[in-house]
Each structure stands twice: as structure tokens, then as C-alpha cells.
Amino acid sequence: MNKAAYHHGDLRTALLEAADTLLAEQGAAGLSLRAVAKRAGVSHTAPYRHFRDKAALLSALAAEGFRLLAEGLEAAAARHVDDPARQLKEAGRVYVTTALAHPQRARLMFGGNVALSDHDPVYQAAGERAFNGLQQIIHAGQAAGVFRDDPVRPLALSLWSAVHGLVMLLLAEQIGDVPAGDPARVATMISWVTEVTLSGVLHRDSPGNS
């Protein structure tokens, strides 16, 4: 753990850790590559050995976030395999709480401000994996007769949009009476959105929803 060892072969990790700390403190806008290098105890040009430019470092940070999110979603789905509706609700809950646990990272991941679409295959991979998982749950729910027998893609996109939208509204503090910090109120909103999206808005003669 001495300086020489720390900066020997593991500088990339050290830079990512430093960047993650600074990101959480000040957001992506206030994060400077020079500050990251300084925090890692290295000259301000050293990062260029490991990242093509600043965007590449932020990109790596976002990629890690997508990986963690995908894992959390899969774990949530694995917990209630025989109850598709519950799987969706739990996955939605994990999606929102994971993002809000690291708001600056989530803004980085979802804000679309970094050149994340720079063909870094990690995003595509994580996104596709998550979306495929979602579609599989829906398919299972249809096979079990719990979900409507509509085409899967519209259903999946709607669920994803609803949960993603809630995250973004909370992150941007655009929901009037919620200062984005109250976990209980956030939990309530998650329930609202997932349950309404599952049940729909239109009037129905035979409710039958939990």
C-alpha cells in the first residue's frame, strides 16, 4: 500500500475510485481530470496513460454503474421467480433506489450528456440484458395468464419508461413536493407507478388486482 506499489499497475483503478468520489461530491460538471489525478497522487497527465480523454474516464464510471444496476435487477428478478407481477415491482423498486443511492452517477448514466454512445459496448450490453430480462418476465407472466396477451415489446417499453421516468423526475427534483431525499415518500411513489402501470388507468369492470 505504499505509494510506489499503489501507483504500480493499479493506477487505473485508483483513478476510477478518485473520480467516483469526486463525482459523488460535485457532479460530473464539477469534476476535473486534474483534480482526479491530484487525488490519486499523480501528475495531471498520468490519466492519459489509461484513458483516451476525460470522456473516456466518465464513460468507464457510467459503465460500472450500468453493470451494478443490471446485477441488482437480475438479483431482484431471481428472488420471486414464480410471481411475475412481484418480479416487476421489485425490479422497479431496485431500479429507482439504486439510481437514487448514487444520484450523480445516475445523472451521468442517464443524462445523455457524456458521449456514452461512443460505441462503448458496455452500455448496449447492459441495456439489452436488462431489457431482455424484462421481456422474459412479461412473457412468463403471459404464459401464466397473469399478464395481458399483448405484444411484449410495448408492454416492456411502457414499464421501463414509467420507472425510468420516475427516477429522472426525482433526480431532477421536478416533482413538486418531494425533496428527493425522503425514502418513505419515494417508496410510496414507486408503488404508485408500478401498480398503476400494471393495472392501467382506464376503468375496468372486474378489478382483480392486488
Partner DNA sequence: ACCTGAACACCGTTCAAGT
**Under the rule (CB under 8 A), what is the footprint of its own copies?**
27-29, 85, 88, 107, 110-113, 116-117, 123-124, 127-128, 131, 138, 145-150, 153-155, 157-169, 171-176, 189, 192-193, 195-206, 208-209
Identity of the amino acid at 210: S
Q: How far apart are CA 69 and CA 41, in angstroms?
A: 30
Nearest distance from C-beta of residue 48 to DNA, angstroms:
5
Nearer to its own copies, 42 or 138 (CB): 138
Q: Given the complex with DNA, which of 63 and 193 has the nearer CB atom?
A: 63
**49, 79, 148, 204: which one binds DNA (CB under 7 A):** 49
Dist CA 19 CA 100 (whole Å): 18
Residue 110 contacts DNA per CB under 7 A: no
The set of cell numbers assigned to 166 is 420516475
Q: Least CB distance from residue 43 to DNA, whole Å?
A: 3
DSSP letter at 8 equals S
Binding partner at 13 among DNA, its own copies, none, C-beta below 5 to 8 Å by kind: none
Tell me if 204 contacts DNA by CB under 7 A: no
Cell numbers of 150, please? 399483448
In the region spanning residues 50 to 89, those forming contacts with DNA, defined by CB under 7 A, are 50, 53-55
Binding mask 8-27 for DNA (x = CB under 7 A): xx-x----------------
Selection from 51, 65, 69 nearest residue 23 by Cα: 65
Residue 7, contacted partner among its own copies, DNA, none, CB below 5-8 A by kind: DNA
Q: Which is nearer to DNA, 54 or 89 (CB)?
A: 54
Tell me the angle at which helices 183-199 and 152-171 cross, rounded to the nearest 10 degrees.
Answer: 160
Pick from 144, 87, 108, 136: which is nearest to 31 by CA? 108
Radius of gyration of the chain (CA): 20
| Type of residue found at 83 | D
Interface residue with DNA among 13, 24, 29, 45 (CB under 7 A) is 45
CA atoms of 65 and 88, how far apart (whole Å)? 21
Is 40:11 a contact under the CB 8 Å cutoff? yes
Q: Binding to DNA by residue 158, rule CB under 7 A?
A: no
Binding footprint of DNA on the chain (CB under 7 A): 7-9, 11, 31-35, 37, 42-46, 48-50, 53-55
